[in-house]
Amino acid sequence: MPHSFREKLAESSTKSDSLLCIGLDPDISKMPEAALKSDDPLAYFCTRIVMATKESACAYKPNFAFFESMGIKGRLALEKVIKSIPREIPVILDAKVGDIGNTSAHYARAFFEELNADALTVNPYMGIDSVSPFLEYENKGVFFLCLTSNKGSMDLQKEELKNGEPVYIHVAKKIKDWDAKNQNCCAVVGATNPQEMQGIRNILDTQPVLVPGIGAQGGDLEAVCRNIITGKNLPTLISASRSIIYASAGDDFEEAANISAESLRKKINDLR
């Protein structure tokens, strides 16, 4: 059995011959009728997506907000969804948390111990004291936001410091430094930033990188693969959510998700 998140991710990727991470963003307004008729729509929909796509995925990324917005029912559904994911496939919980140290310690306990996520997305903006509680879980993965795919990333992340270095490069260097202790740091780099990826990868040369933004957000898969994984044996996860889980709104939603996931897995492999 793997002892760390990185080992679990490597084994899952090798077994599935995949770099595909499937995002689970259950939106009631987009779900098929079969899910809406169930007693637990979020759990029904997501668990069936997992069962339909598990041969193509090397990781799953439930988005905490979609569950949290549904109150206690959503939280219970999230627990069911995480338990439905095969144990050998890593679960990256997308919550983007980060607060003062004492608060972060409770976030870490909630997500790593109570929900048993293998990894978590974290906002590094408040610095080392706010991220240390997550890093203390040495067998878990911590995905720090480095350069995101949203348009607003221009507001802060690409601003230049006094030395001419953009903020996202400074963040990448911090991730590298923080990784020295337990080798459990990872980064999030949006697919809409292919030109910036090489600079980040030159710094984060061994750390796992999660790349969201392929599919509905318009990221260029070929450009991403060319700049971050092609010709290199680096731990990279290409994440897609809506383009897979909402490939069909009909009764064939499971089959459509399976076809979409497998097609994307193959495209990624062809470009590696």
Confidence of residue 217 (pLDDT cuts 50, 70, 90): low
How many percent of the chain have pLDDT more than 90? 82
DSSP state at residue 23: E
Q: Tell me the pLDDT tens digit for each residue of 55-101.
A: 999 999 999 999 999 999 999 999 999 999 999 999 999 999 999 99
Calculate mean pLDDT across residues 123-144: 97
How high is the pLDDT of residue 173?
Answer: 97
Confidence of residue 152 (pLDDT cuts 50, 70, 90): confident
List beta partners, residue 92.
119
Paired tokens of 239:
């994440």
| pLDDT at position 230 over 60 | no
Among residues 229, 259, 234, the alpha carbon closest in space to that of 244 is found at: 259
Domains of the chain, CATH where assigned: 5-271 (3.20.20.70)
Query: What are the catalytic residues?
Result: 96
Q: Tell me the pLDDT tens digit for each residue of 176-208.
A: 999 999 999 999 999 888 888 889 989 998 899
List beta partners, residue 210.
188, 237
Q: d(Cα 236, Cα 92) in Å, to the nearest integer?
A: 13
Residues belonging to the chain: 272
Calculate mean pLDDT across residues 18-47: 96
pTM for the predicted model, two decimal places? 0.95
Confidence of residue 19 (pLDDT cuts 50, 70, 90): very high
Q: d(Cα 73, Cα 151) in Å, to the nearest integer?
A: 32
How high is the pLDDT of residue 218?
Answer: 64
**β-strand 59-62 against 20-24: which pairing, if any?**
parallel
How high is the pLDDT of residue 207?
Answer: 93
Q: Residue 164: which residues within 8 A CB-CB, separation 6 or more?
A: none
Paired tokens of 64:
């905490």
How high is the pLDDT of residue 150?
Answer: 85
The answer to whether the CB of 268 falls within 8 A of the CB of 59 is no
